A and B are shown apart, each in its own frame.
Chain A
Amino acid sequence: MADITNQSLNEIIENIKTKKVSSTDLTKAYIKNIESAKKLNAFVTTTFDQALDKAKQFDNKPNFNQLLPGIPLAVKDLFCTENTKTTAGSNILNNFIPSYESTVTKNLWNNGSFLLGKLNCDEFAMGSSNETSHYGNVINPVGDQLVPGGSSGGSSSALAADLTPATIGTDTGGSIRQPASFTGTVGLKPTYGLCSRWGIVAFASSLDQAGPMTKTIKDCAIMLESMSGFDEKDSTSINKKKEQYSKNLKDNIKGLKIGIPKEYRVDNMPKEVDELWEKGKKILKDLGAQLIDISLPHTKYALPTYYIVAPAEASSNLARYDGVRYGYRSKQGKDLIEMYEKTRSEGFGDEVKRRILIGTYVLSSGYYDAYYLKAQKVRQLIKKDFDDSFTKIDAILTPSTPSSAFKIGEKTNDPVSMYLNDIFTVPVNLAGLPALSMPAGVDKQGYPLGLQLIGKALDEQKILNIGYAFEKNCGFKNEIKKWWS
Chain B
Amino acid sequence: MSKEKFDYFINGEKGKYEVVIGLEVHAQVLSKSKLFSGSSTKFGADPNNQVSLIDSAFPGMLPVINEECVKQAVRTGLGLNAKINNYSVFDRKNYFYADLPQGYQISQYKNPIVGEGKVLLDMPYGSKEIGIERLHLEQDAGKSIHDMDPSNTYVDLNRSGIALMEIVSKPDLRSPDEVNAYIKKLRSIMRYLGTCDGNMQEGSLRADVNVSVRKEGDKNFGTRCEIKNVNSIKFMQMAIEYEAARQVELIENGKAIDQETRLFDTKKNETRSMRSKEDAHDYRYFPDPDLLPLKLEQKLIDDLKKTLPELPDKKKERFIKEYGLNAYEANVLVSEKEISDYYEEVAKLSDKKLAATWMMGDLFAMLNDKGLDISKSPISAKHFAELVQSIKSGEISGRIAKEVFEIMLETGDNPKKIIESKGLKQQSDPKELEKMIDEILTKNKDKVDQYKSGKEKLFGFFVGQVMKSSGGKANPQLTNEILKKLLKG
Contacts and interface: CB of A to CB of B under 8 A. Distances in A.
Interface of A: 80, 86, 88, 93, 96, 98-100, 102, 197-202, 204-206, 232-236, 312-313, 315-316, 318-320, 322, 324-326, 336-337, 340, 360, 363-365, 368, 372
B94 interface: yes
Contacts of A98: 58-60
Nearest to A365: B282
B53 interface: yes
A322 B56 contact: no
Interface in B94-136: 94, 96-98, 101-104
A320 B60 contact: no
A96 B59 CA distance: 10
Given A319-B94, A324-B101, A324-B155, A235 B60 contact: no
Given A80-B60, A93-B59, A96-B59, 16 more contacts: A80-B59, A88-B59, A98-B60, A197-B62, A198-B62, A206-B289, A233-B64, A235-B62, A235-B65, A235-B291, A319-B104, A320-B59, A320-B103, A336-B97, A363-B286, A364-B282
24 contacts: A88-B59, A96-B59, A98-B60, A100-B58, A197-B62, A199-B61, A200-B60, A204-B289, A205-B289, A234-B62, A236-B289, A236-B292, A312-B286, A313-B289, A315-B94, A318-B103, A320-B57, A325-B58, A336-B97, A336-B98, A336-B153, A363-B286, A365-B282, A372-B286
A205 B104 contact: no
Contact of B103 (A80, A100, A199, A319): A319
A316 B104 contact: yes
Given A320-B101, A360-B284, A326 B58 contact: yes
A138 B471 CA distance: 102
B290 interface: yes
Contacts of B203: none
B20 to A, nearest CB: 26
Contacts of A322: 96, 98, 103
Contacts of B394: none
A368 B286 contact: yes
Contacts of B282: 364-365
B153 A236 contact: no
B101 A235 contact: no
A138 to B, nearest CB: 21
Contacts of B290: 202, 205, 235-236
Nearest to A100: B53
A318 B291 CA distance: 17
B102 A320 contact: yes
A320 B63 CA distance: 14
Contacts of A235: 62-65, 290-292
Interface residues of B, number: 31
B92 interface: yes
A206 B98 CA distance: 26
Contacts of A205: 288-290
A340 B96 contact: yes
Contacts of A368: 284, 286
Contacts of B153: 336
A232 B65 CA distance: 11
Interface in B331-384: none
A76 B286 CA distance: 29
**Which secondary structure dominates where chain B touches chain A?**
loop
A256 B96 CA distance: 52
Nearest to B97: A336
Top 3 nearest A-B pairs (CB, nearest first) are A319-B103, A206-B289, A205-B289
Nearest to B292: A235
**Which secondary structure dominates where chain A touches chain B?**
loop
Given A235-B290, A363-B286, A316 B94 contact: yes
Contacts of B284: 315-316, 360, 363-365, 368
Contacts of A201: 59-60
Interface in B286-323: 286, 288-292
A99 B51 CA distance: 14
A237 to B, nearest CB: 9
Contacts of A200: 60
Contacts of A86: 59
Nearest to B288: A205
Contacts of B155: 324
Q: Interface centre among A234, A324, A365, by most B CB within 10 Å?
A: A324
A319 B102 contact: yes
Contacts of A202: 59-60, 290
Nearest to A312: B286
A204 B289 CA distance: 8
Interface string B28-69: 000000000000000000000000010011111111110000
Contacts of A364: 282, 284
A275 B290 CA distance: 41
A197 B59 CA distance: 11
A325 B59 contact: no
A54 B210 CA distance: 63
Interface string B259-297: 000000000000000000000001011101111100000
A102 B96 contact: no
A233 B62 contact: yes
B60 A198 contact: yes
Contacts of A198: 60-62
B57 to A, nearest CB: 4
B60 A316 contact: no
B91 to A, nearest CB: 10
Nearest to B92: A316
A309 B429 CA distance: 92
A313 to B, nearest CB: 6
A103 B154 CA distance: 32
Contact of A232 (B64, B98, B288): B64
B97 to A, nearest CB: 8
A424 to B, nearest CB: 23
B49 to A, nearest CB: 15
A93 B58 CA distance: 11
Nearest to A363: B284
B291 to A, nearest CB: 5
A336 B92 CA distance: 22
A206 B290 CA distance: 7
Contacts of B61: 198-199
A465 to B, nearest CB: 30
A127 B193 CA distance: 52
B60 A199 contact: yes
A309 B335 CA distance: 50
Given A100-B53, A205-B290, A363-B284, A316 B59 contact: no
Contact of A325 (B56, B97, B292): B56
Q: Interface centre among B58, B59, B62, B94, by most A CB within 10 Å?
A: B59
A316 B285 CA distance: 10
Contacts of A236: 289-292
A200 B53 CA distance: 13
Contacts of B292: 235-236
A313 B290 CA distance: 10
A232 B66 CA distance: 12
Contacts of A206: 289
Q: Interface centre among A86, A233, A320, by most B CB within 10 Å?
A: A320
Contacts of B104: 316, 319
A216 to B, nearest CB: 29
A325 B101 contact: yes
A302 B299 CA distance: 40
Contacts of B286: 312, 316, 363, 368, 372
A201 B98 CA distance: 21
A149 B378 CA distance: 76
A124 to B, nearest CB: 10
Contacts of B285: 363
